[in-house]
Amino acid sequence: MEGTGMSKDTYFFSHDYGARNDPKLLKVLMKLGQAGKGTYWDLIEMLYEQGGKLQLSEIESYAFALHSDSTCITSLINDFELFKNDGSLFWSESVDRRLQVRAEKSQKAANSANKRWDKAGNYANALQTNSDSNAIKDIKGKNSKGKNNKGKVFTPPDIIEVKAYFIENGFSETAAIRAFKHYDTGNWHDTNGNQVINWKQKLRTNWFTPENQAPVHKERGFVS
């Protein structure tokens, strides 16, 4: 709120339901009056602001800040079982419980926020990965098309493959050697300068001719 000087980290704390009729607070009211009861709640608020612990050595400072007196605060700490102390610090068990609940809620909220951010990050990464993958595919496709019109990558055969293909189809090894040299010299481009895509089809079309057939040994019935 404007003009109050409250920190942005200030938060409201809940009182126990029915605290007005708490026997301990009734005793405070009887001994110290409304001023003492008001000082009690002021101390509770200070405990929330300071993380749950206050210094016993600073009682006079607290009294000054709360427009009370050190005798009243000392009595509240020692006489009504409202606070615990270890000789150096004092605290309220109910405040500690509420601070613990608040810390747990804050941690859960932080964990939920982190999970949301993780999911958002994973989704963004997935989109980026998909985009990168598509871009790579586009590049590969363009490069492949630059090599041949059908987008296929051609792997030229070696002389052994060509010989075997000729022989198994009934054509001579000599013709196979000539065909291989013809295309290998031209880096497997045809006479029109086009890249050979299917070398077997190209050889069948242009080299599997009668004059290139292997001679048949008539007496023994095998290809020589």
pLDDT tens digit sequence for 66-107: 999 999 999 999 999 999 999 999 999 999 999 999 888 888
Rounded to whole angstroms, how far apart are CA atoms 206 and 218?
27
pLDDT in tens, 186-215: 889 888 888 888 999 989 999 999 999 988
Identify the band that residue 3 occupies on the pLDDT scale cut at 50, 70 and 90. Answer: very low
56 CB-side CA count, 13 A = 14
The whole-chain average pLDDT of the chain stands at 82
pLDDT interval class at 21 (50, 70, 90): confident
pTM of the model: 0.44
In Å, how far are 28, 169, 181, 211, 213 from 176, measured between CA atoms?
A: 114, 11, 9, 12, 10
- Does the pLDDT value for residue 163 go beyond 60? yes
How far apart CA 2 and CA 204 sit, in angstroms, is: 93
The CB density around residue 151, as the number of other CB atoms within 10 Å, is 14
pLDDT at res. 4: 41
Kindly state the average pLDDT of the residues 212-224: 62
Q: What 8-state DSSP symbol labels residue 87?
A: S
